[in-house]
Chain A
Amino acid sequence: MSFIHKFRAWCWHWHQRLGVSSALLFVVIAVTGIMLNHTSALQLAKHQVNQTWLLEWYGLAKQQQTSFEMPAGLIRQQKQQVLLNNQFLASCDAPLVSAAPTVLGDVVACRDSLLVIGPDGQLLDVITADFGLPFPIEKMQQCQGNVLSMMVDNKTLLFDIESLSVLENAQPCSDVQYPLVETLMVEGDGLDWQKVIQDLHSGRFFGTLGVWLYDLATLALLFLSLSGFWLWYNRRGRRK
């Protein structure tokens, strides 16, 4: 048997075995590659992963988070961002404290600022210490109209969000606030599907071993391309 015959048999042998054993990886790479090509259309980055097993795979746990149920929707804080129905509303460096209605709009209190939200969910105003807001706010409720009752340094103060002034005269307060909702939220920035698909495409989903496995699969694909071409060319030559 000539060297060419032996090499052809060897190529066939390994072409078939490598093709079958790598097929599943090629399917994963191809499908995820197509998905990544259409990331914007599929809005992968906007969809958060909620599957507990997948979050656990990434080492992310769901944790209790302070949120407030307002007529405009659920308000919560993710790092320094205050989100209304998961949409960015405003930045807030300090923790979220309370939410309450006023005549002007709903008010969300961080420890060092107040965010006033209109009925359509638009940000009306940001009131900080620059505008005379006492802080750190420990608790906040609506007293009457646009007057808030706030607990600052263990003292109760009345603050008018329209005139931006601390009211001296104590007045009877109705003490209205929106209910606190403890929701389970993924810690940190969460996990979006784009990250998962990217990791599946690169093999990082399976850790360092996955990257090496994908490298081997890529080498296998290279071998399959070259051996496939050679086998086709060789057979074509023999037929002639």
Chain B
Amino acid sequence: MLKKLSLLLSVMLLWSPQSYSQKGDFMSVPEFAEQVFGDISPWQTLWLNNDQKSQLSDALNRPFRQLRLRYMQESETTLWIFDEIGKELPITIGLAVNDQGIAALQILTYRESRGGEVRMAAFREQFLGASLIEDELDQPIDGITGATMSVWTVKRAATAALLCHQWVRGNAR
């Protein structure tokens, strides 16, 4: 009985969010691009006007200073990389967006010591298909206890990627 109980406890501990490894480089940009497109597309450039910079600043909750952003595109799918601060350090987030909404989301690099649960598939899958209504995600995203700031960061990056996709596709149409 005691053996069974200790085994159960061990399994529970292994599967608990705390045991989920936090820091690390989990996927490179080329690997993410291959996962999304099947190969690596050349980088393209989105030039931003002042209105778009201001919208991105609002979405990312920080002054966005760059005049242009790099992305990959194949047919209607675009791929974006954002390095956004979680609590103290940047989280590198890869996002693929198509005209229906978010098609893929990966945490490529996580640098903070806590909050790495945003890497879990169950969390990331909440974003799939999400699009924007008045510059806000149209799907509710459940938070993760102990990873609140990382969750906010991923939501901000998702909003920014959807905005950028709209601009790219708007220009293409």
Using a CB–CB cutoff of 8 Å, the interface residues on chain A facing chain B are 89-90, 118, 122-126, 128, 130-132, 163-164
Contact = CB atoms under 8 A, between A and B. Distances in A.
B120 interface: no
B137 interface: no
A80 to B, nearest CB: 11
A125 B81 contact: no
Contacts of B92: 130
Nearest to B66: A123
Contacts of A164: 43, 70
Given A128-B83, A130-B81, A131-B29, A123 B65 contact: yes
B80 to A, nearest CB: 11
Contacts of A90: 65
B140 interface: no
Interface residues of B, number: 12
Interface of B: 29, 42-43, 65-68, 70, 81, 83, 92, 108
Contact of A118 (B42, B67, B81): B67
B70 A124 contact: no
A131 B67 contact: no
A221 to B, nearest CB: 45
B66 A126 contact: yes
Contacts of A128: 83
9 contacts: A89-B65, A123-B66, A125-B68, A125-B70, A130-B29, A130-B81, A131-B43, A132-B43, A163-B42
A121 to B, nearest CB: 11
Contacts of B81: 130-131
A125 B66 contact: yes
A124 B43 contact: no
A90 B108 CA distance: 22
A208 B29 CA distance: 55
A122 B83 CA distance: 20
Contacts of B42: 163
Nearest to B65: A123
A41 to B, nearest CB: 24
B83 A124 contact: no
Nearest to B82: A130
A125 B67 contact: yes
Contacts of A118: 67
A127 to B, nearest CB: 8
A131 B70 CA distance: 8
A163 B43 CA distance: 7
Given A131-B81, A163-B42, A164-B43, A124 B29 contact: no
Given A125-B68, A125-B70, 20 more contacts: A90-B65, A118-B67, A122-B67, A123-B65, A123-B66, A123-B67, A124-B66, A124-B67, A124-B68, A125-B67, A128-B83, A130-B29, A130-B81, A130-B83, A130-B92, A131-B29, A131-B81, A132-B29, A132-B43, A163-B42
A131 B30 CA distance: 9
Nearest to A118: B67
Contacts of A130: 29, 81, 83, 92, 108
Contacts of A132: 29, 43
Counting from the closest, the 3 A-B pairs by CB-CB distance are A123-B65, A164-B43, A124-B67
Nearest to A117: B67
Contacts of B83: 128, 130
Contacts of A126: 66
A189 B164 CA distance: 36
B110 to A, nearest CB: 14
